[in-house]
Amino acid sequence: MALEEFERKRMSERHRGMSQMRTISNYGGGIFIVLAGCFFMFPTSYTAEFIDRYDPVLIKIFAVVCWVYGGFRIYRGYQKKYFND
């Protein structure tokens, strides 16, 4: 069986369900982490008193790391390459 035939093979019902669940999980987790990065990068007046306790440079670095990882999770959900062994 050629590699092209294997890639075109239909997924089983179980794998399709698992793929949908992982996709939703990656999208949801990615969006949550990106929003957490926004929370740390742009604090509101209510949250500023909690965030100001820490070093502002480290807070900004953490926010950027959240954005990068959240973007990666969203990209991984978009790609849907879960069952390539």
Question: The tokens 């973007």 sit on which residue?
Answer: 71
Note whether residue 2 is domain-resident.
Answer: no
Closest by Cα among 44, 46, 33 to 73 = 33
Residue 1 has pLDDT above 50, yes or no: no
What are the start-end ranges of the E strands in the chain? none
List, for residues 4-62, the tens digit of each pLDDT value. 555 556 767 777 778 888 889 999 999 999 999 999 999 888 888 888 899 989 999 99
Give the whole-angstrom CA distance, residue 15 versus residue 19: 6
pLDDT at 82: 66
Looking at the structure of the chain, the number of domains it has is 1
Domain span at residue 21 reads 17-79
- For the record, the structure tokens of 65 come out as 């790391």
Note whether residue 10 is domain-resident.
Answer: no
Phi, psi (rounded to 5 degrees) for 58: -65, -35
Phi, psi (rounded to 5 degrees) for 45: -65, -30
Question: pTM (2 decimals)?
Answer: 0.75
